[in-house]
Amino acid sequence: MKGSARAASEYVPIVRKLPLDEFCRQNPHPVLIFFSTSKKLKPNKQSQGLTIDHLSLSDSGGTGTGTGRTRGAYLVFPIVPCGGGEGGTTVGCRSSCDVQIDDASISKHHATIETRRTSHWITDNKSSGGTEVNGEALDPDEPRQLVSGAGVRLGDVDLIFLEAPEFYTFIKRFFGE
């Protein structure tokens, strides 16, 4: 993984210092969360996506709580459109992608996440490994809207899509803030 990825633990001091509304003003973009030691995030499905309360990790069959060994293993990828406005964020294994994921199951330009006004859409770019949202496969070149908490699977890599308020809550709950 590369790009603007940061360890989730790097956000802890920011969350400690800022109330939710100020955090969201300073960090307005949604994020993709990746659990770096496992590749397998197993979120429980909810009608509008997934909730932080029901996120569990299958690193060795147990449930991650954000304590001990799982605490620093989350990587955070902000979804910032090209030029900072509306547009797409490319995800793939190539270094030219906005979010680079170094995994054999990820295509060169696997998917694109677009911001359209206040909503976010993901499109599978005819990848060989496929793209899923909440367990449903996407047809190539057919955008699917993302809601905060959505489970996103690219090839064999599982991620969670979170809007800024839910990301703030994620940091508070999983890092005991």
Each residue of 56-89: pLDDT tens digit?
Answer: 333 333 333 433 434 447 889 888 766 545 568 9
Rounded Cα gap, residues 175 and 74, in angstroms: 11
Query: What pLDDT score was predicted for residue 47?
Result: 32
More confident residue, 13 or 40: 13
Name the average pLDDT for the chain: 78
- Residue 4's pLDDT band (cuts 50, 70, 90): low
Mean pLDDT over 92-103 rounds to: 88
Query: What pLDDT score was predicted for residue 60?
Result: 33
Each residue of 109-160: pLDDT tens digit?
Answer: 999 999 888 899 999 999 999 999 999 999 999 999 999 999 999 999 999 9
- Residue 95's pLDDT band (cuts 50, 70, 90): confident
Q: Cβ distance 36 to 1 under 8 Å?
A: yes
Confidence check: pLDDT of 12 > 90: yes
Query: What pLDDT score was predicted for residue 149?
Result: 94
Confidence check: pLDDT of 106 > 60: yes
Highest mean pLDDT among 2-6, 32-36, 133-137: 133-137
Rounded Cα gap, residues 68 and 49, in angstroms: 27
pTM of the complete model: 0.78
- Residue 50's pLDDT band (cuts 50, 70, 90): very low
Q: Encode 159-172 in three state secondary structure.
A: EEEECHHHHHHHHH
Cα pseudo-dihedral 100, 137, 81, 46, rounded to 10:
-110
Rounded Cα gap, residues 113 and 108, in angstroms: 15
Mean pLDDT over 9-26 rounds to: 94
Query: What pLDDT score was predicted for residue 177?
Result: 57
Give the CATH architecture of domain 6-174: Sandwich (2.60)
Cα pseudo-dihedral 92, 75, 87, 127, rounded to 10:
20
Query: What pLDDT score was predicted for residue 46?
Result: 38
- Domain boundary assignment for the chain: 6-174
Q: Cβ distance 26 to 11 under 8 Å?
A: no
